[in-house]
Amino acid sequence: MKDYMNIPMSENDADAKTIGEYFKKLLITLWRDGEGFSGKRPFGNSGWEYDVYAALIAAGIPIGSLDEDGYVDNVDCAKADDCVIEAIESIFKEAGK
């Protein structure tokens, strides 16, 4: 299993340095906001999923490409989401034992 959690992230609205830190902040935001949680704008802007997709692409995961500014140019969302789900499951792998 790839170590997605330590993949570095470029500048993002969560101010997360890695994908793992991003997911941690996302879960904390969900918990704190409860019913007021915005799935569209959890950190203030929409399209937040693309912050994670960009980090995966920059790390060489073959799910798409970035433009010259480091933004997602194209992405296979199904493959990208599979990577995200694998990363999330890795967080809880030890918790279920």
| 89 pLDDT above the threshold of 70 | yes
Q: Count Cβ atoms below 10 Å from residue 10 Cβ, excluding itself.
A: 13
What's the confidence (pLDDT) of residue 24? 95
Mean pLDDT of the chain: 93
What's the confidence (pLDDT) of residue 91? 86
Number of C-alpha atoms within 13 angstroms, CB side, residue 77?
3
| 11 pLDDT above the threshold of 70 | yes
Sign of the dihedral through C-alpha 93, 25, 82, 68: negative
Query: Which residue carries 């949680």 as its tokens?
Result: 37
pLDDT over 70 percentage in the chain: 95
* Average pLDDT score over residue span 77-86: 96
pTM over 0.75: yes
* Cβ–Cβ under 8 Å, residues 3 and 88: no
